Amino acid sequence: MRKIIFIGANNPELSSMLDALGPTNEYRFVGIVDNDPTKKGSSFCGLPVLGAFDELSLLDPDEFSLVNLITRDAETRFETSKAGADLGFRFENFIHPSVDLSGVVMGTGNYIQRNVTLQVGVRIAHNVCINSGSVVSHETSIGSSSFLAPGVTVAGLVEINDGALLGVGATVLPRLEIGRWSVIGGGAVVTRNVPPSSVNAGVPARTIRTKPAQYVSGNPWGHDGEE
């Protein structure tokens, strides 16, 4: 039985996930690491907070796997997963049982919350987080370390590249491309392709600024990630 360590003691939605999954013969959920020093020794969603990220170096990667719960931004999610991967840990998918995965192709290390709709032909890479109530339509692809906030709607045949962040309630129309490490603001409606490393907002969405490109790939265990 693999022992699971979670990364990030912040979102109480973890309780819902654990309750829905119930007892399992495959995994045992044993604790959480979090870099906030005030949380060490406390309990979060019924699990002990073991300490900061450096506690992982004391654990055996052959015995423990990781699940990344961090949703603050795509870069932080990538960096924390890469730190765990560099220590030799395997990452597991953490998916609410309400999510129908029929016809979906998925990599590893993904975190998908309850009431997410994934239509047939959706492809999800690695280290992706999709928040509650989002809809991803047929034949859309989602790149590694991307983050979809609650209530995002993505139409069919969209390509979301690595590290993209789609804010609460954002909508993407069909057959568009979202550039790597771009940001779509909450409530925005995307009607045209979005350039890489850009910040976009409004209805229709427009680029309001660019941001420095820190990484190329969003795959924490398949690429060094550096420009």
Query: Is the pLDDT confidence value at 226 over 70?
Result: no
Q: Considering the chain, what percentage of its residues have pLDDT values greater than 90?
A: 89
Report whether CATH 2.160.10.10 matches the domain 93-202: yes
Instruction: Give the strand pairing for 206-210 and 198-201.
Output: antiparallel
Which one is predicted more confidently, 24 or 75?
75
Task: Supply the pLDDT for residue 224.
Answer: 45
Q: Which is higher by pLDDT, 11 or 171?
A: 171
- Measured distance CA(48)–CA(219) in Å, rounded: 29
Q: What is the pLDDT of residue 223?
A: 54
pLDDT for the residue numbered 214: 86
Annotation: CATH topology of 2-92:
Rossmann fold (3.40.50)
* Cis ω before 204 (30° cut-off from 0): yes
Lowest mean pLDDT among 18-27, 69-78, 88-97, 112-121: 18-27
In the chain, domain spans: 2-92, 93-202
Percentage of the chain modeled with pLDDT above 70: 98
More confident residue, 175 or 27: 175
Confidence at 225, pLDDT banded by 50, 70, 90? very low
What is the Cα–Cα distance from 45 to 48, expressed in whole angstroms?
A: 8
Once rounded to an integer, what is the mean pLDDT over residues 65-73?
94
Question: DSSP characters for the chain?
Answer: -EEEEEE-S--THHHHHHHHH---SSEEEEEEE-S-GGGTT-EETTEEEEESGGGGGGS-TTTEEEEE---S-HHHHHHHHHHHHHTT-EE--EE-TTS--TT-EE-SS-EE-TT-EE-TT-EE-SS-EE-TT-EE-TT-EE-TT-EE-TT-EE-TT-EE-TT-EE-TT-EE-TT-EE-TT-EE-TT-EE-S-B-TTEEEETTTTEEEEE----BS---TTTS--B-
Categorize the per-residue pLDDT at 227 as very low, low, confident or very high, splitting at 50, 70 and 90: very low
Q: Please, which residues have CB within 8 angstroms of residue 90's CB and are 6 or more apart in sequence?
A: 61, 65, 66, 108
pLDDT of residue 23: 81
pLDDT tens, 118-177? 999 999 999 999 999 999 999 999 999 999 999 999 999 999 999 999 999 999 999 999
Number of residues that make up the chain: 227
Per-residue pLDDT, averaged over 171-191, amounts to 98
pTM of the model: 0.94
pLDDT value of residue 201: 98
Mean pLDDT of 189-204: 98
Q: Please state, rounded to an integer, the average pLDDT across all residues of the chain.
A: 94
Q: Which two tokens stand for residue 9?
A: 């003691």
pLDDT one-digit tens code per residue, 28-63: 999 999 999 999 999 999 999 999 988 999 999 999
List, edge to edge, every strand of the sheet that includes 94-95.
94-95, 111-112, 129-130, 147-148, 165-166, 183-184, 198-201, 206-210
